[in-house]
Amino acid sequence: MPRITLTSVLVDDQAKALTFYTDVLGFVVKNDVPLGEHRWLTVVGAGEPDGVELLLEPDEHPAARVFKEALVADGIPFTSFAVDDVHATYQELAARGVRFTQPPASMGPVVTAVLDDTCGNLIQLTSPA
């Protein structure tokens, strides 16, 4: 059966994305391979070196930018990350200056919050309620 080993988030600046996803969110670099003006740049969860890789993919294609802008305009997250406690993570990241578009909110069996990744995306955080 297929397994998910890699997914991507479209970013407007790979260097800025790398700083945000590693220094702010705590992911660690798995691959950083130069490819012309861009890089094959993936991160994984801290302590999960063999976990699902997140490709910080340039949003160079015009359709990608339109897609991202439409999602943000409607307040729709591009992807979702699991955390142990959304409330605690919200407090920690907000103290680091992360901008949230949705504070923690109960959504049935989960609690969610939505942050701006500074690279043109909204990212949802989830934890069990």
Domains of the chain and CATH, by start: 6-128 (3.10.180.10)
pTM of the predicted structure, to 2 decimals: 0.94
How many angstroms separate the CA atoms of 70 and 118, rounded? 16
pLDDT tens, residue by residue, 46-90: 999 999 999 999 999 999 999 999 999 999 999 999 999 999 999
Closest of 37, 15, 41 to residue 28, by C-alpha: 41
Long-range contacts of 65-74 (CB under 8 A, 24+ apart): 65/12, 65/120, 67/10, 68/10, 68/120, 68/121, 69/120, 71/121, 71/122, 72/120, 72/121, 72/122
Q: What is the CA radius of gyration of the chain?
A: 15
pLDDT band at 6 (very low <50, low <70, confident <90, very high): very high
In this predicted model, what pLDDT tens digit does every residue of 97-129 receive, in sequence order? 999 999 999 999 999 999 999 999 999 999 999
pLDDT (0 to 100) of residue 66: 96
